[in-house]
Amino acid sequence: MSEPAIKIDPKTGLKVFNTRAAKATERIQGKGYSIISDSSLTTLPELPPGATFNAAEQAKYREFKETRRGADDYMAMEGEFTRYLADVYSAEPVPRESLHDECEIFIVGAGFAGLLLWYRLKAAGFQDVRFCEKGGDVGGTWYWNRYPGIACDVEAYSYFPLLEEMGYVPSMKFASGFEILEYCQAMATKFGFYEKCLFHTTVDTTLWDEKTGRWTVKTDRGDVIKARYVLLANGILTTPKLARIPGMEKFKGESFHTSRWNYHIDLTGKRVGIIGTGATAVQAIPELAKTVGELYVFQRTPSSVDVRDQRATKDEERAAWANEPGWARARRARFAKISAGRTAIQANDDYLAGKVADFKERKTYDRELSMEELMEKQLEANFRIMEQIRARVDTIIKDPKTAAALKPYYPYGCKRPTFHDEYLPTFNLPHVHLVDTATTGGVREINERGVVHEGVEYPLDVLIYATGFQWMATSTFNMIIGEGGKTLREKWVEDGTKTFLGLHTQEFPNLFIVTGPQGGGGSFNFTDAIEAHSEYVAWLLTTMRDTGVNKVDIHKEAEVRYADHCAKADIATAPLRDCLSYYNDHGKAEPGSLAYYGGNRWHKFRRDAQESLEPYRFSKI
């Protein structure tokens, strides 16, 4: 007989769960990047002579940006489009009764952040911890995103959390998403996570009750759970969005979003269209092209496509790491010291392995440069990288019109940089067609048969939306009501986004937001941020337990000062991100309201707070 969905652990008296859903399908395709032996694809061409970010080039960047201003028009998957959100990866939810009870710590999300939080909290002696997760299994991003070609873009040895504890070494430098998903499952099994988690369970509302000092969490499974602490670990790019395109509801073929890749639809030999050319599409398109009959890529803005140079993990690396306790943590710490996006992603192996002291030769100047001079130098260096990336397009792409359309004109890193050695060559294949929709601000018409652009109809059997996710804005923010009776979103809309470390926000006591707006761990390796956040939360909860308090809020001044710092850091670095991107809500975001641009200064704020305890208002209820 199968285990019941809920039972009581006789040792602890706590409920343990068995709600992990069975897999819906074993069908997957395209396990990440291939290893490419052609060195012309794995090295960037030389910098074209005379390249300098002069007035003409700056004007070109501005024009490129202005052509696209206001073109972003997205919609949530509501009404008839709710079907795009269905969990295609798991079997039906495991039936269970609703819970009407209490726990000490309630955590939303079972991705990397949830898994790491559990690891830290368990080590700190917290047992009465419960998780809920929308999906049928662990993995978060790596649960939902299973498109062909998926792989991590930060080197796997620095990206996978807890490698030493797991005794694991990723198989490739840029591991496939399927390997990462399996790794998450292995972590969950090893650390006893599964019995703590309610899968296929989504939070509906979370309401603070000052009298009892508890959050009341209600879920779509009828649960009413009171919790002392609530932690949001449900990601920063979680909620998929669709481009709003007139006529999209009329399309009679199959369609889906990349974050719900439907392997039940056989694409072999089919006419397939994909809308969007961001990081997801760049990885998926080369794999799609290997299967489909005709592929139409509807592009509004080209990604910057740098070299990947994928490789397998070497035997000597495995041997060295087997004898080097703490190797992965040390490597991640070295990785975190690299602040420039491209350098980090190209991640020099000798530096990361600790064989050489620095990752690049440092330039020295005979006098101290002003901020403006430094910015100018950075913009110039940035331009040179982009020139090489654009030169790469010309070197690879045979058709000049296609090559022109594939060249990005904006600062490197302003949109998410991508890396691939098969993406560009894909556009030389006779059955792959790039449809440049920049002039109309993207695809503007869909009918029963397919996409229509500038009077030309592109009939399709399958249409794939690679149109991305809401950034730094999960719907959860609408559903949490704090001490003042406002939702988190209302507070931030009315008063501007204000947090302390991204983790606390005033009037939402005992609520911790992991890697939310203004959150940061001083690195763009997401694992660094969640590691820093989970260690911080474990420290705070332990401190409270040890000092006999059970309520923490933060002082208004602390969040005002921190939000001001976030805004200043954003403004100071803004010229390096001068384009329209989801990072800046397509040019509409208030400075400092979304991602954190203060680098390692986040750690300074954290350390100061931990030493002085000044930002906190502790009490006992």
- 3 state DSSP class of 464: strand
Nearest distance, CB of residue 586 and ligand NAP, angstroms: 7
* Closer CB to ligand NAP, 138 or 279, in the complex: 279
Axis crossing angle, helix 526-547 with helix 327-336, rounded to the nearest 10:
110
Residue of 119, 208, 251, 469 interacting with ligand NAP (CB under 6 A): 469
582 binds ligand NAP per the rule CB under 6 A: yes
Residue 133 or 153 with smaller CB distance to ligand NAP: 153
Query: Based on the number of CB atoms within 10 Å of its own CB, is 408 exposed (0-12), middle (13-18) or buried (19 or more)?
Result: buried
Judged by CB under 6 A, the residue of 114, 135, 161, 276 near ligand NAP is 276
Residue 279 in the binding site for ligand NAP (CB under 6 A): yes
The smaller minimum CB distance to ligand NAP, of residues 258 and 510, is found at 258
Q: Which is nearer to ligand NAP, 206 or 584 (CB)?
A: 584
CA pair distance 562, 605, nearest whole angstrom: 8
Residues 69-88 as x/- pattern, contact with ligand NAP by CB under 6 A:
---x----------------
Site for ligand NAP in 486-525 (CB under 6 A): none
**What is the Cα–Cα distance from 36 to 42, expressed in whole angstroms?**
7
Q: Encoding tokens for residue 255?
A: 């369609």
Site for ligand NAP in 408-467 (CB under 6 A): 416, 437, 442-443, 466-467
The one among 105, 180, 227, 245 contacting ligand NAP by CB under 6 A = 245
Q: How far apart are CA 191 and CA 155, in angstroms?
A: 24
d(Cα 85, Cα 152) in Å, to the nearest integer?
23
Instruction: Figure out which of the listed residues 87, 104, 137, 153 binds ligand NAP, where binding follows CB under 6 A.
Output: 153
Stretch that binds ligand NAP, among 145-153, 336-344, 448-456, 608-616 (CB under 6 A): 145-153
Q: Which of 275, 345, 403, 463 binds ligand NAP (CB under 6 A)?
A: 275
Q: Nearest to residue 420, comparing CAs of 550, 233, 277?
A: 277
Of the candidate spans 106-114, 297-305, 376-384, 613-621, the one that interacts with ligand NAP by CB under 6 A turns out to be: 297-305
**33, 251, 298, 427: residue in contact with ligand NAP (rule CB under 6 A):** 298
> Among all chains, which residue has been given the structure tokens 């719900």?
260
Least gap, CB of 410 to ligand NAP (angstroms): 10
Tokens 């395109």 — which residue?
A: 245
Q: Cβ of residue 28: shortest distance to ligand NAP, in angstroms?
A: 16
289 touching ligand NAP, by CB under 6 A:
no
Q: Between 460 and 481, name the residue whose CB sits nearer to ligand NAP.
A: 460
The count of chain residues that interact with ligand NAP, using the rule CB under 6 A, is: 29
* Beta-carbon count within 10 A of 153 CB: 18
Cβ contact 441:251 at 8 Å: no
Q: Quick one: tokens of 277?
A: 């050319």
**254-257 and 462-465 beta bridge pairing:** parallel
Is residue 541 a contact residue for ligand NAP (CB under 6 A)?
no
Residue 156 touching ligand NAP (CB under 6 A):
no
CB-wise, 107 or 237, nearer to ligand NAP? 237
Q: Is 142 in the site for ligand NAP (CB under 6 A)?
A: no
**309-322 burial, b if ≥16 CB within 10 A, otherwise e?**
bbeebeeebeeebe
CA 487 to chain centre: 24
User: Which of these segments, 52-60, 270-278, 490-498, 609-617, binds ligand NAP (CB under 6 A)?
Assistant: 270-278
Nearest residue to 42 (alpha-carbon basis) of 383, 416, 308: 308
CA quadruple 506, 476, 198, 97: dihedral positive or negative?
A: positive
Pick 197 or 245: Cβ nearer ligand NAP: 245
- Minimum distance from residue 468 beta carbon to ligand NAP (Å): 2
Tokens in use for 314? 């070497």
Exposed/middle/buried for 93, CB within 10 Å: 0-12, 13-18, 19+?
Answer: middle
**Nearest distance, CB of residue 293 and ligand NAP, angstroms:** 22
Q: What is the 3-state secondary structure (H, E, C) of 496-513?
A: CCCCECCCECCCCCCEEE
Q: Is 151 in the site for ligand NAP (CB under 6 A)?
A: yes
Closer to ligand NAP by CB, 111 or 482: give it: 111
344 interacts with ligand NAP by CB under 6 A: no
Inter-CA distances, 183 with 18, 134, 193, 198, 301, Å: 19, 19, 13, 20, 34
- Secondary element (H or E) of residue 486: none
Residue among 103 and 152 whose Cβ is closer to ligand NAP: 152
- Kindly state whether residue 277 participates in binding ligand NAP, applying the rule CB under 6 A: yes
Residues 6+ apart with CB under 8 A from 202: 132, 134, 219, 220
Beta carbon nearer to ligand NAP, 128 or 182: 182
Task: Give least dist CB 519 to ligand NAP, A.
Answer: 15
Sign of the alpha-carbon torsion through 515, 521, 522, 523: negative
Residue ranges that bind ligand NAP, judged by CB under 6 A: 68, 72, 151-153, 237, 243, 245, 258, 275-281, 283, 298, 300-301, 416, 437, 442-443, 466-469, 582
